[in-house]
Structure 1
Amino acid sequence: MEMDQNIFFDEFKSKLICLENALIDVKNGNNDIENINEIFRAIHTVKGTADLLGMFDVVALSHKAEDILNEIRDGKYPLDDNLCSLFLEFKELISLVVYNVSCGIFDDSVTENLFIYFEKEFTKIIEKNSNKIIDTKTILVVEESTMVRYMIKKIAIDNGYSVLTSDNSFDGINKIRENEIDLLLCDLSGSNIDNIDMIEELRVDSKYKSLPIVMILTKEDKNIKQLGKDLSAKAWLQKPIDETKLLVVLDKLLN
């Protein structure tokens, strides 16, 4: 298995080098269709390899990059210097993620703000050139379990949402204040008293008084559910998280 993963990582690195070289060629004036096709092929391979390795942030953004490149290949707008620079920055982010995963580092708290940034930048480009408004909602998941955070994030990203995550209330409330969060999924089970304090703090701030909050519970607990209602929580989900129920709740509260 380790040998197989090394093959994937080698393929990743090879395609990232191809991507960088083709983008630099375009920046140097070689803006021909073959270079653009090479950029598309590199990103397409990166997307497929990322999917096999569970890097769903990379998959989602690579898909948007492909949409942009398809428009460029159809002649709808040029691959200009600014767009090349953005793709090169995106390539650096992918390289960082690949390096972290190859070293066994799966904490994406460092990179997820960057993914949100690129998602917004790619969306702006698509909106500008298609005259369509793409309203991507951003969710914050505050949950101490890495596995639960990972699963919720994957499901949400696969269905078109942007996702930030946190494993504690202190970091969570900072992310709420630093970003435009449309919905908070928050673990209120067991010993997560700090998360309750976080919600109480949010509710006294007029800016977050109506922020939709969904409780995550380990088991059905009438007292916790009542507390959630008192804090104006809109819904609750029980672990293990059911994908269908999660998507129904997100759709109801955000769309």
Structure 2
Amino acid sequence: MTETTTASTLPTYYLSHGGGPWPWMPNMAPAYAVLDASLKALRRELDEKPRAVLVVTAHWETEDFTFSAAERPGMIYDYYGFPPETYEITYPAPGLPSLAARAAGLLRDGGMTANIDAARGFDHGTFSLMQAIYPEAAMPIVQMSIRKDFDPALHVEAGKLLAPLRDEGVLVVGSGLSFHNLRAMGPVGRDASRAFDGWLQQALLGATGEPRASNLLDWEKAPAARHVHPREDHLMPLHAAVGAAMEEEAHLSYHQEDFFGAITASSFRFGDAPLPVS
């Protein structure tokens, strides 16, 4: 049976979260203007439907899937070379231990090992993204790790098991970056990023269900795949987001061909938004 999105079923997203603490750096605003506008549009199209956000973050790698369960998460400044004041910023959104337990239970019921971490703080794959979407920092957030083995099939399967959360007011967000080769962020990465992004759009927008998931399982066959993702940490959150919305169409929610002057990058929504954005 084909699953359809209703007003009570939230979409899932794969979002490019940008670099470091960019929302707190006014001098970076021009470079991030397109991404920032897309994230503010996301907030408007969601209306007030989510009660919490589950962020599958590229910046937390564990042996088994793990969920953060701190009631008041701290900060993890997992970036380097930024101004001193960016190591003092805070994003005081609450955690939601009950959601962490629920999500871990869904994975365990599906035969997966899942853990709870009551001390994990917010990494920049979470707090930079959420600052742009929810600057008031009132939305409860739980983080989900990716597995160290980067097994694409297991990340898709985990997403499938988490799908019931979408009917419980939980917004599932895969936080990564569709191009993540820090040594090729300028003109040297232009052609590779465009080639990979073209494949990614075709793979996601042109299919649903198992054919789309199969495309992602074979992501290494994409043009310039290993140039764009020397490590696939920033791609695995996409697999979870797709798994959680298997039968629903993908929509391009952000696209830029001059990110950092040369890079092509994209974000995607899977399923219909609660509200259209004009």
| Same fold flag (TM > 0.5) | no
TM-score range, shorter chain: under 0.3
- Which protein has the larger Cα radius of gyration, Structure 1 or Structure 2? 1
Larger RCO of the pair (alpha carbons < 8 Å, separation 6+):
2
Higher strand share: 2
TM-score (norm 2): 0.23
Higher helix share: 1
